[in-house]
């Protein structure tokens, strides 16, 4: 007699990715058709193609995407067979995505001083997590790990956050901190919620509080992978940005 396998209720990584790319696309649609940037800084005006209320709702929905991506980066770190190849993939797609990203935001393929796409933030976050985990695994069996033994990983993580801020990657240093919070408080939902809330409040943008909605599907993660389509999700980011730009340029 065979035992029936009990399927744990919740979202697999596949469905978390689906939620993330849908909310991200809604956000980017608002950016592509709702605003026009004056320069590379956050100086913009509504294009007239979208009402302010619609624009704000779509941008609020879009806040859900980034925490999910941060969570998936950490889960990917724990499940990947080769973290170096994982990091290289992120970096390669960061390079591929930059021109579409700049075209959608600034209507120019290259812009000195402009923001850098979120793949670079995810890459730096993975880099920080990898070093933190290396030193944690190295000294976790010590009864009281000395500060000097864990400090190198913390310093490298801090440098990664500074690099993100210096390069103006999407979400900057706080984006890297998001990823680190998902690593440090993995399997500790209460502390994770407190850490994310505190970080968002430090950002000083009330709209970012909508990002906390992402904790609902994240906390319902069922530790399952779901269908594959790995490269579909990697390619989706630059492809949907390219499509949004082309459609925008075709409008009268």
CA atoms within 13 A on the CB side of 5: 2
> Nearest-CA neighbor of 182 among 129, 234, 230?
129
Mean pLDDT by 10 residues, the chain (252 residues): 53 94 96 74 69 90 96 95 95 96 84 82 96 79 58 86 92 93 93 92 83 95 86 95 92 72
Structure tokens at 243: 């499509």
Q: 31-38 contacts: CB < 8 A, separation 24 or more?
A: 31/59, 31/104, 31/105, 32/104, 32/244, 32/245, 32/247, 32/248, 33/244, 33/248, 33/251, 34/58, 36/107, 37/105, 37/106, 37/107
Residue 73 in any domain: the answer is: yes
Structure tokens at 162: 């500074």
| pLDDT in the model for residue 8 | 64
Residue 3 in any domain: the answer is: no
Q: Which domain holds residue 172?
A: 13-250
> Nearest-CA neighbor of 14 among 240, 235, 233, 246?
233
Residue 4 in any domain: the answer is: no
Residue 1 in any domain: the answer is: no
Question: In what helix (H) or strand (E) does residue 35 lie, and over which residues does it extend?
Answer: strand 35-37
> Nearest-CA neighbor of 92 among 209, 237, 245?
237
Residue 8 in any domain: the answer is: no
| pLDDT in the model for residue 140 | 65
Residue 65 in any domain: the answer is: yes
Residue 228 in any domain: the answer is: yes
Q: What is the spatial distance between Cα 4 and Cα 114, in angstroms, rounded to a whole number?
A: 55
> Nearest-CA neighbor of 215 among 7, 89, 71?
71
- The domain tally of the chain equals 1
Residue 2 in any domain: the answer is: no
């Amino acid at each position: 007699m065979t035992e029936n396998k009990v399927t744990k209720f919740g979202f697999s990584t596949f469905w978390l990715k689906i939620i993330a790319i849908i909310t991200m696309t809604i956000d980017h649609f608002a950016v592509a058709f709702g605003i026009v940037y004056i320069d590379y800084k956050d100086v913009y005006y509504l294009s007239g193609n979208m009402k302010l209320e619609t624009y704000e709702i779509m941008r609020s929905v879009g806040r859900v995407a980034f925490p999910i991506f941060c969570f998936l980066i950490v889960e990917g770190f724990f499940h990947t067979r080769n973290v170096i190849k994982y990091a290289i993939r992120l970096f390669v797609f960061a390079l591929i995505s930059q021109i579409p990203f700049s075209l959608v935001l600034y209507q120019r393929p290259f812009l000195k001083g402009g923001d850098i796409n979120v793949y670079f933030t995810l890459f730096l976050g993975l880099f920080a997590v990898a070093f933190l985990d290396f030193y944690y695994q190295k000294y976790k069996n010590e009864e009281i790990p000395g500060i000097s033994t864990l400090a190198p990983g913390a310093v490298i993580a801090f440098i990664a956050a500074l690099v993100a801020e210096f390069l103006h990657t999407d979400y900057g240093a706080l984006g890297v901190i998001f990823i680190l919070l998902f690593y440090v408080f993995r399997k500790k939902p209460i502390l994770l919620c407190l850490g994310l809330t505190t970080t968002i409040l430090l950002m000083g943008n009330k709209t970012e509080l909508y990002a906390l909605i992402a904790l609902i599907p994240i906390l319902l993660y069922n530790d399952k992978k779901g269908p594959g389509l790995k490269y579909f999700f990697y390619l989706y980011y630059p492809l949907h940005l390219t499509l949004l730009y082309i459609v925008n340029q075709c409008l009268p």
